[in-house]
Amino acid sequence: MSKIPVFVLSGFLGSGKTSLLERLLQECSRRNLSAAVLMNEIGKTDTDGESLSSKSKMIEKLLDGCICCNKKSEVVQSMEKLIALKPDVIFIELTGVANPEEVADSLTEPALINIVYLEKVITLIDAEHILSYNSLFESDRELVQTTRRQIEVADLLIVNKTDLVSESKKQKIYKVLLKQNSTSRVFFSTYSNIDLHPLFNQLKTPKHTIKVRIKGEPHDHHKHHGHHNHSYSRINSITLKLSSPTSTTDIETFLKKWKSNLLRAKGYISLGDGTYLMQHVMKRVNWERSSYTGDPYVVLIGIELNEEKIKKEWGRTVQKSGASS
Ligand SMILES: Nc1nc2c(ncn2[C@@H]2O[C@H](COP(=O)(O)OP(=O)(O)OP(=O)(O)O)[C@@H](O)[C@H]2O)c(=O)[nH]1
φ/ψ of residue 67, rounded to 5: -60, -25
Residue identifier of the C-alpha nearest atom 3 of ligand 1: 161
Is the Cβ atom of 188 under 6 angstroms away from ligand 1?
no
Is the Cβ atom of 11 under 6 angstroms away from ligand 1?
yes
Is the Cβ atom of 18 under 6 angstroms away from ligand 1?
yes
Residue identifier of the C-alpha nearest atom 12 of ligand 1: 14
Q: What is the ipTM of this complex?
A: 0.98
For the CA of 264, the nearest atom of ligand 1? 25
Is the Cβ atom of 163 under 6 angstroms away from ligand 1?
yes
Task: For domain 235-324, give the CATH number.
Answer: 3.30.1220.10
Residue identifier of the C-alpha nearest atom 28 of ligand 1: 16
Q: Where are the domains of the chain?
A: 4-223, 235-324
φ/ψ of residue 37, rounded to 5: -130, 130
Q: Ligand 1 mean position to 15 CA, how many Å?
A: 5
Is the Cβ atom of 286 under 6 angstroms away from ligand 1?
yes
pLDDT tens track, the chain, 325 positions = 689 999 999 999 999 999 999 999 999 999 999 999 999 877 766 666 666 777 777 888 877 677 766 666 788 899 999 999 999 999 999 988 888 888 877 887 778 888 999 899 999 999 999 998 888 887 788 888 889 989 998 999 999 999 999 999 999 999 999 999 998 999 999 999 999 998 988 775 444 333 344 444 433 333 333 334 444 445 677 889 998 889 999 999 999 999 878 888 989 999 989 999 999 988 899 999 999 888 898 988 777 889 999 999 999 998 876 655 4
Tally of CB atoms within 10 A around 106: 22
Q: Which CATH superfamily is domain 4-223 in?
A: P-loop containing nucleotide triphosphate hydrolases (3.40.50.300)
What would the 3-class secondary structure string for 97-125 be? CCCHHHHHHHCCCHHHHCCEEEEEEEEEE
